[in-house]
Amino acid sequence: MKALKAVEVQPELPKRLTGLLEIAYNLWWTWQPEAVQLLRRVDPELWESTGHNPVMILGMIQQERLLKLEKDPGFVAQLDRLVEKLHDYRSADTWFTRTYGKVEQPRVAYFSMEFGLTECLPIYSGGLGLLAGDHLKSASELGIPLVGVGLLYQKGYFRQYLNADGWQQETYPDNDVYNMPLRLVTDAHGQPLKFDVEMGNHNISVQAWDVHVGRVRLLLLDTNLPVNSPADRAITAELYGGDTSMRMRQEIILGIGGVRAVKGLGWRCLASHLNEGHSAFSTLERTKHVMRDRGVSLDQALELVRKSTLFTTHTPVPAGIDEFPESMMKDYFGAYIGSMGMPWEEFMALGRLGDRDGRGSFNMACLALNLSYRANGVSQLHGEVSRFMWQRGWPDVPQSEIPIGAVTNGVHPSSWISYEMAELFDRYLGPGWATQPADQSIWENIDAIPDEELWRTHERRRERMVSFARKRLIYFLTRRGALEHEIQTAREVLDPEALTIGFARRFATYKRGTLLFRDGERLKKILCSHDRPVQIIIAGKAHPRDNEGKELIKQIIHFARQPEVRHHIVFLEDYDIALGRSLVQGVDVWLNTPRRPMEACGTSGMKALFNGSLNASILDGWWAEAYQGGRGWAIGAGEDYIDYALQDEVESNALYHLLEEEIVPLFYQRGNDNLPRGWIAKMKTSMRILCPMFNSNRMVREYTERFYLPAMSECRKLTEHNDALPSYCHWKNTIRQSWKDVAVVKVESINHDRVTVGRPISVKATIALGALTPADVQVQLYIGRTNPEGEILDAQSVVLEDPRQLNDGLWVFSGSTTCRQSGRYGYSVRVLPAHPSMTHSLEMRLMRWPTRN
């Protein structure tokens, strides 16, 4: 029987305990150890059984318990102190307000398909979501005027369990949204804020939920409303569930609905950050709003949207990008695009890159790249991979200059550092490591921590992790109906003092979760040494449709069941934030074995780093730029392979060799005080050098200074004066129409063919500009060493100036440069558009080189 009406029942708290609700509904508590302690103190059993959900605890707890807490002076004093601390936190000056002044409303909208903020808000699947969650937390710490935009999934991502044969199974429990740390967004009359989004030939009603993350807010969109059809209600049912049509519908709600939600609150965000291409439709909706609000043309609106949009790609392979057939695009966007006055062919071209002949699917990353002037990968290596992957969009541009940069990911320190390690940092680094997020120099004091205290703290965390692993293993064995002897074995697995390796991530095949198991007999000898035992804790989920990934999990389970290793290997089911946090806080070595260069960044190893764990990884993602001797270990030397079987053979042997000859001996090399001094030295070196670099406070500040603020500034300049934007767009149209007449006619060297080091190389170039003038272009000498094939390497660009007109449309530019080293150099000349309002010189993707005969 369906309910006729619904009513929301909220907990009734004694007056002295109402501060618990304020804390519970602001995820600031997730990175405040004292707040976590307080919430656990309310009811320790409920804390565990609810998945660390304070809102649900307050709705389930017995009234007698609340009355008892109200009379507990210690509890009340701690609660009052934390409420005051939260108030102080929200009102305090921040890095942003001190540097750029106070802003009353969000200025940056950050879109992401998933957000991993806490285990009791399960709307994430993996690294992309956890990165987005840490981004919001650091935006709060730094005071960035930012709002997050995502979807509220009724079921979220799947929960994992294994059957008796070790095969992954999935369940999809409903999220009880009224018992989660979020609230409906309401209008001025206290009614839920709702709006419509066109979905092909009909409208869908959408409502928004509000999550407070310290100083910033996250809007989560929801279509699970009675007024919608069952099919439309299901749009926000599952993360990454359904077919291509469902993905299209989700991305329309995220992008178009997300812009409408922000506007519905009266916020005028000046910049937009697309965390992957899922939200790229937001650029179309923003274009419509700019046209309507400013009364400008389509071209001018697109210009402002491009100027103010940042696209962060996380995908190193084209297969990972969402694409939609043109027929589907027409069904969903025919009327929408028509209302903008955009020709259909022009719209479809926005979803293609270097593929302008009207064929091919509509690619979401291409839409994001075509409607943003700023784009980046998430590590330096991934930036290189992305430039290679998308170079067809800039056919005349050297790959190294394609305007896709890199901002290496980081993790939010306070969210991942153990309570014990945080106390150690407070004593020896001072509280600034947590309270002054913009000051990265604090980490230089790591060496002040006594070796004994650092090691004992780490050992306590390993002991806690082993206890956690045993309990979790027993829980899932009992749930599966395991035999008593299996449960008894689980009570004794792992040794709290043994060298412990952690491996936890998605079980995608490219991550090679079984590389360590390639030579089983060799691995057994490493694990089962009497004097130097080693143990491995593994966790991870395969996508429900990824049978290859599921097979990898099954192989590990079967290997771990062998009698000689069953105490040394544990696979922990249902990988989530809580499990990941326990592992990164307790393992000695964090292992990562992706197939280079397919790991865009990887952040789990960073979380382990902040807890003193050492990384052993393929030189891929972040580790390719982080690794040097003394900071952990590299598996291989960063080679790229064509033969994957050979790669697996070589790199598995390299991993075994590292374990046998370096990692295991160093861990067990102890002095009379039983301290592994060499190991501790590596811990300190790694933390001192890498913690300032690979944390999300550095990352978000970098995004702010390199992208958010310049984007807002450029848009202001184009809108401060009525004629600035039309004039700029007119100039661009003139450049496009006239570019066919631009040519490098002749390049001459004023010197001989040989010069000595330090002597100038002088060049003059004759350029045909047609109807353009020298003020419209920049002419550059492009020079660098050459390889045996004559290709210019590591080129530098030198501007040629002093234009001299020869006749109508023909100009001579000249200039010189010097070479500081001997060798064979090559040079050429190129022409690019130039204007003071350009974001960068390749904004128009136009470049002219000499014609080769």
- 134-184 pLDDT, tens digit per residue, is 999 999 999 999 999 999 999 988 999 999 999 999 999 999 999 999 999
Element (DSSP H or E) covering residue 434? helix 432-435
Name the band, by pLDDT with cuts 50, 70 and 90, for residue 759: confident
Name the band, by pLDDT with cuts 50, 70 and 90, for residue 114: very high
- As a residue count, the chain comes to 853
Confidence (pLDDT) at 8: 57
pLDDT digits (tens, 9 = 90+) for 40-98: 999 999 999 999 999 999 999 998 999 999 999 999 999 999 999 999 999 999 999 99
Higher pLDDT, 788 or 277: 277
Token pair 């989004």 is found at: 197
**Separation between Cα atoms, residue 275 and residue 258, nearest integer Å:** 13
Confidence (pLDDT) at 760: 86
User: Which whole number is the average pLDDT over 213-223?
Assistant: 98
Residue 4 has pLDDT above 60, yes or no: no
Please state, in angstroms and as integers, the Cα–Cα distance from residue 759 to each residue in 753, 763, 779, following that order.
12, 13, 22
Confidence (pLDDT) at 112: 98
Confidence (pLDDT) at 478: 93
Of 32, 60, 16, nearest to 137 by C-alpha is 32
Please state, in angstroms and as integers, the Cα–Cα distance from residue 214 to each residue in 141, 310, 432, 685, following that order.
8, 24, 18, 32
Of 676, 699, 535, nearest to 612 by C-alpha is 676
Percentages of the chain per state (helix, strand, coil), in multiples of 5:
45, 20, 35
> Are residues 818 and 798 in contact, defined by beta-carbon separation less than 8 angstroms?
no
Of 243, 241, 342, nearest to 288 by C-alpha is 342
The string of DSSP letters for 203-248 reads EEEEEEEEEEETTEEEEEEE---TTS-HHHHGGGTBTT-S-HHHHH
Of 70, 76, 84, nearest to 32 by C-alpha is 84
Confidence (pLDDT) at 358: 56
Q: Where are the alpha helices (DSSP H) in 587-695?
A: 604-610, 623-626, 644-658, 664-668, 677-690
pTM (whole model) above 0.75: yes
Higher pLDDT, 185 or 760: 185
First to last CA, the chain: 80
Q: Which residues pair with 589 in a beta bridge?
A: 501, 614
The pair of three-digit structure tokens given for residue 442, joined into one six-digit string: 């604090």
Residue 39 has pLDDT above 60, yes or no: yes
Of 839, 853, 830, nearest to 398 by C-alpha is 830
Token pair 């409903």 is found at: 174
pLDDT digits (tens, 9 = 90+) for 679-714: 999 999 999 999 999 999 999 999 999 999 999 999
pLDDT digits (tens, 9 = 90+) for 480-513: 888 898 899 999 999 999 999 999 999 999 999 9
**Separation between Cα atoms, residue 471 and residue 468, nearest integer Å:** 5
User: Which whole number is the average pLDDT over 265-276?
Assistant: 96
Q: What is the mean pLDDT of the chain?
A: 94
User: Which whole number is the average pLDDT over 361-377?
Assistant: 97
pLDDT digits (tens, 9 = 90+) for 614-670: 999 999 999 999 999 889 999 999 999 999 999 999 999 999 999 999 999 999 999
Sign of CA dihedral 602, 607, 610, 616: negative
Residue 793 has pLDDT above 90, yes or no: no
User: Which whole number is the average pLDDT over 503-527?
Assistant: 96
Confidence (pLDDT) at 317: 85
Q: Which residues pair with 536 in a beta bridge?
A: 501, 569
